[in-house]
Amino acid sequence: MQMIGEWNDAIENDIMELKREVIDPLLTEKITKFILVTENVLNFHSSDKEYYQEWFEEVTDAGGWMVALNMLPATQQDFRKKKLQYYLELMELEDWRRYKPYHLFKKIDNDISQRLPL
């Protein structure tokens, strides 16, 4: 999924909308690995960690993961201030567009698998 613009949990509760309207239906279909392309998220305003934590627990219990790909440094800094990187892996992959979707998924899946303890 590609994210664009502003990610605003503080006023609009974007994470709640994303979780309830997009992620939950995907989870019911047994999709547990998520790549959010975040290079075009220009601003991030956080609220609480509740929905990140819930999403994290649901996917990791099922052997999945969540990645924010190529988040801008300033946005990453705001994300890290709230310690949300514990729930959503921040990953950099400069040339991600050269991959076909399946191959991008496999590369990220392999990278995550190598980092996580068995």
- What is the set of domains in the chain, with CATH numbers? 2-16+31-115 (3.30.750.24)
- What's the pLDDT band for 6 if we cut at 50, 70, 90? confident
| Arithmetic mean of pLDDT, 55-75 | 94
How far is 11 from 32, CA to CA, in rounded Å?
Answer: 27
**Mean pLDDT of the region 62-90:** 93
Burial class (CB in 10 A: 0-12, 13-18, 19+), 49: middle
**pTM to 2 decimals?**
0.89
Q: What's the pLDDT at 116?
A: 56
Query: What's residue 4's pLDDT?
Result: 84
Does position 87 have pLDDT exceeding 90, yes or no? yes
Q: Is the pLDDT of residue 86 over 90?
A: yes
Question: Which strands, in side-by-side order, build the sheet including 65-69?
Answer: 2-8, 33-45, 65-69, 89-91
Mean pLDDT rounded to a whole number for the chain: 90
Compute the average pLDDT of residues 52-65.
94
Q: What percent of the chain has a predicted confidence (pLDDT) above 90?
A: 69
